[in-house]
Chain A
Amino acid sequence: MGNILNQIGIENYIFLCVVLFCIGIFGVLYRRNAIIVFMSIEIMLNAVNLLFVAFSTYHQDAQGQVFVFFSMAVAAAEVAVGLAILVSIFRNLGSISIDNLKNLKG
């Protein structure tokens, strides 16, 4: 079986991932709801994961996919910690808008 990239082209994957990554960035900047911001970050990470896999195929090398596992672990850990922080903020503040987090400034 031939390389699937012969039919799609690695560039297309790169473009897709870049767009997806940028959508993640956009989401982080666009939304004020902390949960959605988290989700946007997840989108960014997933974009990278996808690119890893694409490159893995490109190089016919499994390391890229192995790396995705680590990246998933990291994402999971981050989400867990992030949500924990979020929950304690919600308890103290009653809101999860990051716009309300402006006490520290200047």
Chain B
Amino acid sequence: MNTLIAITGLGIFCLLFEILNFRKGIIPFTILGLLGVLALNFCEFGSTESYYNNMIMVSRFSTTFSSLFIVLTIFLVALSHNFYENHPTKISDFVAIKIFLLAGGVAMVSFGNLAMFFLGIEILSIALYVLAASERLNLKSNEAGMKYFLMGSFASGIILFGICLIYGAMGSFDVVEISTYSLSAELPVWFPIGMVLVTIGMLFKIAAVPFHFWAPDVYEGSPALTTALMSTLAKVVAIATLFKLISSLNFIPSLENQDHLSTFENIIIFISIASMTVGNIMALRQANVKRMLAFSGISHAGFMLMTFLTVATSAGVLLYYTAAYALAGIAAFSVILYVCKNQHNEDITNFHGLGKTNPLLAAILTASLLSMAGIPIFSGFFAKLFLFNQTIQAGHIAVVIVAVINSIISVGYYFKLILAMYSKEPNQERTGKPFLIYAVAMISIALNIILGLFPSLVLDLLN
């Protein structure tokens, strides 16, 4: 709870800084503030409390995921400095929106009441709509914002409808009450329908097939930093929230009571497989790196969905997977931000010869792509390993085999980018070594590797 309050306060401070004409200090201050929030969050770690009539429930799950969100936000804010160099007047707005977005995210993983969940997701969505469309003179950005907005509010409507049905079935928005009722034998059909609708809405947010169409377009059109945010923070928040929703509302046991469990699992399996396959195959032919990463993100969503087959035990795995994926994503995007700073697009051609001009960044991008591809020692590998381990334990070996095949396909496009960096001649001068970008890239990839070397650090938090 304190974390949430502190984050909100930090956001408001950001706005105040603009008024106080202290623009230069915004980013350092925010980073420091976020570090403070992180510390605060650590203080809450381990406690399980609920605040304000159970509106916010702090648990290990929420604190660990919140910490991950905060870390990601720190990176994203740090990257803002360089990205918004040319928009000094708007920087406070951008930073503040990101902070509020974080607040929305934190609210989403620590909700104790569906109202908080709904408001959290709306804050997140609206902030994202704004960020996606934030290059107002760029038609692509407009288009991306518009697409995201239209489809996002459509999904919001569905989520709202789902919440409404849950309420209709349970007569309450409180998570604890709902989870108690959901175990009773006599349940109106509204509850499972409502849950399914909410799940569908969330599946849209994490861009799972067949609700994924927005992702590539929006990722491509949005400003690169926003894409970074969407593909890391927003995706992680959405998947964590969905996980929490399904696990804390006792949805699985209630389905079991009504003999719907196997069908639900089949749906999850189907969506997971479809997401992986569609994401990976579509990514093969992409020329735009952001678009490629969008499809890669879709496939990763498919992987993450595999945790839903073993909800009771896989929170730790989900945390590890999201952390590994998001850290690799941040590292990759910081390099993309650097490379495409003054380019009109993010095509692979821009990366030609990066291995020669900026070997360090090329190495970092390579490492992050290898991590996403699941090559050992990077945490992406362990993430997949634990995921497969869980899933095989639950007896779904077929999904794992499909996942493995998909991992193989994914190497195809990740390596396209690596090839471009190392085997082509550089076609442009790349000057400047912006400190923050290098720092973010290095720290995030280092974290990724540390997670790989010591997976227990994260994995045991939730086990």
Which A positions have Cβ atoms within 8 angstroms of B? Answer: 10, 14, 21, 24-25, 28, 34, 37, 41, 44-45, 47-48, 51-52, 54-55, 58-59, 61, 63-64, 66-67, 70-71, 74, 77-78, 81-82, 84-86, 88-89, 92-93, 98, 101, 103-106
A24–B147 CB distance below 8 A = no
A64–B160 CB distance below 8 A = no
B144–A81 CB distance below 8 A = no
Q: Which of these, B118, B137, B145, B156, contacts A78 with CB under 8 Å?
A: B156
Q: Which of these, B130, B150, B173, contacts A63 with CB under 8 Å?
A: B173
A92–B126 CB distance below 8 A = no
Inter-chain CA distance A60–B167, complex, in Å, is 12
A74–B156 CB distance below 8 A = yes
Q: Name the A residues within 8 Å of B216 (CB-CB).
A: 104
Shortest Cβ-Cβ A-B pairs, 8 listed: A59-B171, A104-B217, A44-B157, A55-B168, A101-B143, A89-B142, A85-B133, A88-B136
Inter-chain CA distance A48–B149, complex, in Å, is 19
Question: Knowing that A81-B126, A103-B221 are A-B contacts, what are 12 other residue pairs whose CB atoms are under 8 Å apart, sorted by A's residue number?
Answer: A10-B168, A34-B150, A41-B154, A41-B157, A44-B161, A55-B171, A58-B168, A70-B115, A84-B133, A101-B143, A103-B139, A104-B217
A81–B130 CB distance below 8 A = yes
Residue of A with least CB distance to B116:
A70
Inter-chain CA distance A41–B150, complex, in Å, is 8
Q: Name the interface size band of chain B.
A: 35 or more
A88–B167 CB distance below 8 A = no
Q: Which of these, B154, B163, B221, contacts A28 with CB under 8 Å?
A: B154
What are 19 A-B contacts with C-beta separation under 8 Å? A41-B154, A54-B168, A55-B164, A55-B168, A58-B171, A59-B168, A70-B119, A74-B118, A74-B156, A78-B126, A81-B129, A85-B149, A89-B139, A89-B146, A92-B139, A93-B139, A101-B143, A101-B146, A106-B286
Known pairs A74-B119, A88-B136, A104-B140; A82 contacts B149 (CB<8 A): yes
Mostly, the B contact residues are helix
Kindly identify, within residues 269 to 314 of chain B, every residue whose CB is under 8 Å from any CB belonging to chain A: 286, 291
Q: Name the B residues within 8 Å of A106 (CB-CB).
A: 286, 291
A24–B126 CB distance below 8 A = no
